[in-house]
């Protein structure tokens, strides 16, 4: 099935690792690894082809990026990657253009008047933290992911958890380490009480208690429970309505509860600026060469060029596309057929992801983006949280999920958010390999 040099090398290594004198039913580990473990040459690097394969894959992927044509339209998934790569490597953007790009990106996410960028730091914009959450949405507070139930495709699950992928979360993780493994009913009830107070401060206490008790009844042991009445009015902003078969999962609920408590206990303008800094840092990674270089220095990283950073960024951001794209070029016929299908299937999702990037809204890219929007997309499977207009009911909570266009119905690409880790900046993206 595999005729490549890498496959042959790996297959030979697997055979060498087996100790055929051992019965696998008695000791499978000794059977599978005994040959290598007992070999007098077990420290010989040539016996371990995986690092060489990994380096070869990285070299091949980098070569694929460098061969990308500089296109103005993006019909295929490969062309979408090409548009993103060449826009990223364009270091001729002026400082004024960078600032305008970040302002536009912040405005899309609800930061239409962010004090640190709009020179009005003395004016208070919010009376309480609820106003802040109304403005920026829960997906700036928690990581929101929608997936299908692995056992029942008709059920979708919305997972809420603390996003621990960025530098700003390092301090938060240190503060919350004791809450990593909490599964107690009290945490669930406390969380639900807090979330209802954030959303409806004036709700009568008796009604709040009843709501909390009703929601806490469902599968407390697994920390998942229906919370659709809280969410439907929020998701309707994106023409998406849950139909009653979905479940809400709170991952590490102790951490989630403490994060919400941290936000509700602080000054609203401080919290607003906290989120603004976080979002601006995310956007600047796409559009500012100076910001990139300073980030590398602050993270004690080695000096790198923009091309290497852009390759690392896209390999992390578009991991699924790059791996299937790699299959098109380097793997066998069967893998290429799968790759073509999957590239087509996820092309639309990546197209939406590209629209998050500020420089996609800038002058030279506007026309290409408009043309791309007119291209018919291939048929795709209906996702569990597909558009269902006119369904759902008004809820007591109409404030918690704010404006965050790419979080409405997250798919696999939503897991690819680029972190602020120095490893990403320096191109150390081993997890992006095929």
Q: Please spell the DSSP secondary structure of 329-393, one letter per residue.
A: HHS-HHHHHHHHHHHHHHHHHHHHHHTTSGGGGSHHHHHHHHHHHHSPPPP-PPPTT-B-TT-S-
H helices present in 155-305, as ranges: 168-176, 185-199, 205-216, 228-235, 253-264, 268-287, 289-298
What are the pLDDT tens digits along the chain (434 aa)? 466 666 677 677 778 788 888 888 888 878 888 887 788 777 776 666 667 767 777 788 788 888 877 776 666 767 777 777 776 776 666 667 667 767 776 776 667 766 666 555 545 566 666 667 666 666 666 776 766 666 766 666 667 777 665 544 554 555 555 554 444 556 667 767 776 676 566 778 887 777 676 655 543 334 344 344 445 544 444 444 555 555 666 666 666 767 767 776 777 777 777 777 777 766 666 556 666 666 556 555 555 566 777 777 777 666 666 776 777 777 666 656 655 555 555 555 555 555 555 444 455 455 555 554 554 444 433 333 333 333 333 332 222 233 233 333 333 323 323 222 223 323 322 222 22
CA distance 312 to 291: 16
Q: Identify whether the C-beta of residue 246 lies closer than 8 Å to the C-beta of residue 155.
A: yes
pLDDT confidence of residue 74: 66
- List the Cα angle 108/319/424 in 5-degree steps: 75
pLDDT confidence of residue 2: 61
**223, two tokens:** 């920390």
pLDDT confidence of residue 392: 34
What Cα–Cα distance (Å) separates residue 126 from each residue in 9, 134, 273?
A: 63, 10, 11
CA distance 39 to 42: 5
Helix axes 319-330, 306-317, angle to 10 degrees: 100
pLDDT confidence of residue 81: 74
Q: Identify whether the C-beta of residue 196 lies closer than 8 Å to the C-beta of residue 211.
A: yes
pLDDT confidence of residue 318: 67
Report the DSSP pairing between strands 152-161 and 247-250: parallel
Residues in contact with 364: Cβ distance below 8 Å, sequence separation at least 6, in sequence order = none
Q: Identify whether the C-beta of residue 245 lies closer than 8 Å to the C-beta of residue 154.
A: yes
CA 37, 39, 41, 47 dihedral sign is negative
Report the DSSP pairing between strands 143-149 and 247-250: unpaired
pTM above 0.85, yes or no: no
Q: Identify whether the C-beta of residue 338 lies closer than 8 Å to the C-beta of residue 327.
A: yes
CA distance 150 to 34: 36
CA distance 233 to 239: 10
Q: Identify whether the C-beta of residue 226 lies closer than 8 Å to the C-beta of residue 246.
A: yes
């Amino acid at each position: 099935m595999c005729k490549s040099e890498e496959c042959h090398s790996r297959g030979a290594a697997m055979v060498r690792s087996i100790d055929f004198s051992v019965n696998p039913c008695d000791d499978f580990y000794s059977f599978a690894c005994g040959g290598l473990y007992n070999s007098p040459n077990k420290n010989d690097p040539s016996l371990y082809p995986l690092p060489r394969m990994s380096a070869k894959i990285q070299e091949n992927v980098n070569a694929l990026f460098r061969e990308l044509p500089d296109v103005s339209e993006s019909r295929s998934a490969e062309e979408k990657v090409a548009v993103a790569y060449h826009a990223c490597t364009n270091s001729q953007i002026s400082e004024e253009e960078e600032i305008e790009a970040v302002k536009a990106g912040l405005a899309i996410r609800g930061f239409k008047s962010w004090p640190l960028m709009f020179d009005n730091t003395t004016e208070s914009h919010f009376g309480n933290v609820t106003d802040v959450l109304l403005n920026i949405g829960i997906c700036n507070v928690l990581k929101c992911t929608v997936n299908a139930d692995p056992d029942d495709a008709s059920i979708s699950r919305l997972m809420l958890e603390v996003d621990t992928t960025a530098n700003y979360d390092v301090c938060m993780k240190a503060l919350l380490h004791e809450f990593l493994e909490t599964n107690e009913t009290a945490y669930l009830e406390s969380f639900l009480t807090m979330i209802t107070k954030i959303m409806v401060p004036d709700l009568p206490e008796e009604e709040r208690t009843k709501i909390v008790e009703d929601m806490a009844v469902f599968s407390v042991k697994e920390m998942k429970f229906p919370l659709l009445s809280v969410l439907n009015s929020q998701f309707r902003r994106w023409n998406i309505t849950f139909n009653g078969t979905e479940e809400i999962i709170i991952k590490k609920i102790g951490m989630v509860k403490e994060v919400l408590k941290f936000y509700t206990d602080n000054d609203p303008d401080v919290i607003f600026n906290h989120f603004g800094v976080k979002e601006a840092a995310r956007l600047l990674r796409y559009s500012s060469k100076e910001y990139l270089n300073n980030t590398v220095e602050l993270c004690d990283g080695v000096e790198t060029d923009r091309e290497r950073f852009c390759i690392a960024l896209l390999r992390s951001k578009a991991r699924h596309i790059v791996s299937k794209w790699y299959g098109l070029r380097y793997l066998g016929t069967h893998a290429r057929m799968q790759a073509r299908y999957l590239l087509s299937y996820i092309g639309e999702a990546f197209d939406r992801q590209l629209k998050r990037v500020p420089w996609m809204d800038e002058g030279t890219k506007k026309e290409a983006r408009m043309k791309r929007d007119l291209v018919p997309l291939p048929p795709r499977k209906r996702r569990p949280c597909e558009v269902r207009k006119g369904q759902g009911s008004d809820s007591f909570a109409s404030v918690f999920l704010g404006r965050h266009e790419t979080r409405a119905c997250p798919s696999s690409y939503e897991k690819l958010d680029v972190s602020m880790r120095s490893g990403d900046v320096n191109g150390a993206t081993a997890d992006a390999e095929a």
